Structure 1
Amino acid sequence: MSDVLFGLEDAAAARASDPVTSHEAAEAASDHVWESQQATLAIIEAHGKPITALQVEGVAQVRELPFSSSRMRSTLPELEKKGFVVRAGFTSPPRGRRRTLWALTGGTDAS
């Protein structure tokens, strides 16, 4: 899957008016964007069926991945924009609010 994901690299952004420290932090974070996207795709693939953002976060925590919950949630719309995941419906909980289910598209298949 890594070869297919080579084109996923993103850059974290800082505004031109931000201090130099923000630009340095954005540059350092850029590697984490790509790595977190790869991790999210691997989690969804291993799950084998549509998954919620909360479940992706939970698996990342159990696996002790070095990404914040916020970073892991952010990967889903990023990957959707790139065509690697789609919104596959919603959960139907008896209580509480429903959550979006995410699934892989055919875009990550290396064959």
Structure 2
Amino acid sequence: MILINVKFKVRPECAESFLDDIGWYTEATRAEAGNIFFEWYVDPENSAEFILVEGFHDDGAEAHVGSEHFQRACREIPTYLVETPTIINTLIPGKVEWDRMAEFRVD
């Protein structure tokens, strides 16, 4: 699995509508054959900061980055931002599912 976390700092005047405005990108990415998950989260202490948690099959990144919707996102999403997003991108070979957390086990 390719696991990606991206932190977006959105202009305050765009924060309320940001996820709706880019809903086309979320929907198109979730529909990709190589996508495992694509989830947005809002920082509870700062409604203008968003975290995107993405998972793709090991061979799914090239198709994603080459897609028309990704290219559109590269042009449009920066217009909502106050700075370049920060990213953590890692490969976990062969991983495609979530594991159960042993420390918070529910019996």
User: Structure 2-normalised TM-score?
Assistant: 0.31
Of structures 1 and 2, the one scoring higher in RCO (CA 8 A, sep 6+) is 2
The structure with more helix, counted as a fraction of residues: 1
The structure with more strand, counted as a fraction of residues: 2
User: Structure 1-normalised TM-score?
Assistant: 0.30
